[in-house]
Amino acid sequence: MLIYLRVLKESFNFALSALRNNKLRTFLSLVGVTIGIFSIIAVLAAVDSLKREIEGSISGLDNTTIFLGKYSFGPTEVPRWKRQQFPDATYEEYQYIKKSVPNLLAASYTLNVANETLKSDDKSVENVAIGAVTDEYYDIEALKLAEGRFFNAAESNSGSPVIVLGDEIAKNLFGSPQVAIGKKLRLYGRKFTVIGVLQKEGSNIFGGNSKDTSVYVPVNMVRRIYGDSNSNTFPFIIIKPEPGIDQAEFIANLTQKMRLIRGLKPEEIDTFFTNQLQGFADVIDQITGSMNIIGLVISGFSLLVGGFGIANIMFVSVKERTNLIGIQKSLGAKNKFILFQFLFEAVILAVIGGLIGLFLVFIVSVIASQFTGDFEFVLSPWNMFLGTAISAVIGLIAGIIPAMSASKLDPVEAIRTGM
């Protein structure tokens, strides 16, 4: 074991010596590895950060959550012309589902409506996202309040003029969440009473419509304003099953109840879609996986160039130290000692190039995070380990042939050639 540690130490010294004595040659040889590792880890870090941001944006919703409506979240075999004929999900269907579907933990009726302007005295906020929902949405989304409360079932059913504000909206209109509670503001030409303010969330990657810039009002209030047959609203029934149940069985029961209330015949297709959030998460995984593969393939070419650079510098190193190799072998050094010496040197050179690449990724991630607001680029420990491991493997592969040629040199010929 000690002899291998000695070989490692000598190889490290030889590698540093190569860096010092042949700076330009070493730099040109390592730049390929550095760029390759930078490219691979930068892609992996960016994709990981993107995936984490997407998952964080939907983290309030459980993966078992189902969105029932006339629109599909993914590819479907139903032709577009037929989908356009599907009826909207109705409030009556929402009430029926609540009463008749077994193993249902919560269900909420929602309307996706246009952004609006909120006014309070002499202040106003434009382009505010309106969440028209029933009271159960609070539990489905796992909302967190900084002040006040969410509207209750009675307020939801009656369509009371109450409103829950996002953190940024409360601060822009009233200065602070604490002051906002009990205040009046105008929306849809009506006065609403602020009863709650959500905790600060931060912007997300979906255009900035986070909960901070959103408000929530009882859906029945919005229904009175828009009506139930308005083409500008996109109704959905959000359904959360009880934990631990069979998802397929639950969806089958839900589908059966919807077909029953809509009076669909056995030969007719479903006129609605049950979109699972888990399916959306799977799509995200597929997209980020594809992005990783494409990035790895492209970056692989840089690593290939870097491997050739390491091999080149090792061949030159073997030639320059031919005389020393002959002396070592004449003094009893075994072939594997020479082999490991050059292999370790190649690995160390490659790892140095890889560490420079990782350092550049870290610097870029820090700078990028400063210019992207709440979106944070993160260089994870796993990616750092992966970058170092890939560097070592590249060095091992690139150094194997030069190391084998050095280990097979005849000591007498090596000394004569070196002289």
Average pLDDT (330-347) is 75
My answer on whether 312 and 350 are in the same domain is: yes
pLDDT number for residue 205? 46
Average pLDDT (295-307) is 72
pTM of whole model > 0.85? no
Strands 214-218 and 123-133: parallel
Give pLDDT tens digits for 259-270. Answer: 999 999 999 999
Average pLDDT (72-87) is 86
Average pLDDT (285-308) is 72
Query: Smallest Cα–Cα separation from 145: which of 177, 168, 108, 106?
Result: 177
My answer on whether 328 and 391 are in the same domain is: yes
pLDDT number for residue 56? 57
My answer on whether 175 and 259 are in the same domain is: yes
pLDDT number for residue 346? 81
Query: Smallest Cα–Cα separation from 346: which of 385, 414, 393, 409?
Result: 393
My answer on whether 222 and 154 are in the same domain is: yes
Domain boundary among 232, 248, 271: 271
What is the three-class DSSP state of 107? strand
My answer on whether 101 and 229 are in the same domain is: yes
276 domain-assigned: no
pLDDT number for residue 97? 94
My answer on whether 227 and 93 are in the same domain is: yes
16 domain-assigned: yes
DSSP letter string, 217-276: EEHHHHHHHH-SS-TT-EEEEEEEEPTTS-HHHHHHHHHHHHHHHHT--TTSPPSSEEEE
- Percent of the chain past pLDDT 70, that is, above it, reads 80
Query: Is the Cα dihedral 133, 136, 140, 143 positive or negative?
Result: positive
What is the three-class DSSP state of 381? helix
Answer whether residue 191 shows pLDDT above 50. Answer: yes
Average pLDDT (76-81) is 87
Answer whether residue 280 shows pLDDT above 60. Answer: no
| Strand partners for 131 | 112, 216
Domain boundary among 251, 271, 291: 271
Query: Smallest Cα–Cα separation from 253: which of 79, 66, 90?
Result: 66
74 domain-assigned: no
63 domain-assigned: no
300 domain-assigned: yes
- Are 269 and 70 in contact, with CB atoms under 8 Å apart? no
Report residue 341's pLDDT band, with 50, 70 and 90 as the boundaries: confident
My answer on whether 159 and 179 are in the same domain is: yes
pLDDT number for residue 410? 72
My answer on whether 303 and 414 are in the same domain is: yes
Report residue 169's pLDDT band, with 50, 70 and 90 as the boundaries: very high
336 domain-assigned: yes
Where in the sequence is the domain holding 267, given as residue range(s)?
87-271
Give the separation between CA 38 and CA 354, rounded to whole angstroms.
8
Listed ranges 19-33, 92-106, 224-238, 271-285; the one with the highest mean pLDDT: 92-106
Average predicted confidence (pLDDT) for the chain? 81
Pick 13 or 93 by higher pLDDT.
Answer: 93
Give pLDDT tens digits for 16-63. Answer: 666 666 667 677 777 778 887 887 777 777 777 766 666 555 555 567
pLDDT number for residue 161? 94
Domain count for the chain: 2
Query: Smallest Cα–Cα separation from 256: which of 242, 274, 241, 244?
Result: 274
My answer on whether 155 and 251 are in the same domain is: yes
Give the separation between CA 419 and CA 414, rounded to whole angstroms.
9
Lowest average pLDDT, out of 219-233, 352-366, 372-386, goes to 372-386
76 domain-assigned: no
H helix intervals, 22-123: 23-57, 80-83, 91-100
Give pLDDT tens digits for 117-134. Answer: 999 888 899 989 999 999
pLDDT number for residue 208? 47
Answer whether residue 246 shows pLDDT above 60. Answer: yes
Give pLDDT tens digits for 146-157. Answer: 999 999 999 999
Domain boundary among 220, 247, 271: 271
Average pLDDT (344-371) is 81
My answer on whether 351 and 408 are in the same domain is: yes
My answer on whether 352 and 260 are in the same domain is: no
130 domain-assigned: yes
- Percent of the chain past pLDDT 90, that is, above it, reads 32
My answer on whether 189 and 91 are in the same domain is: yes
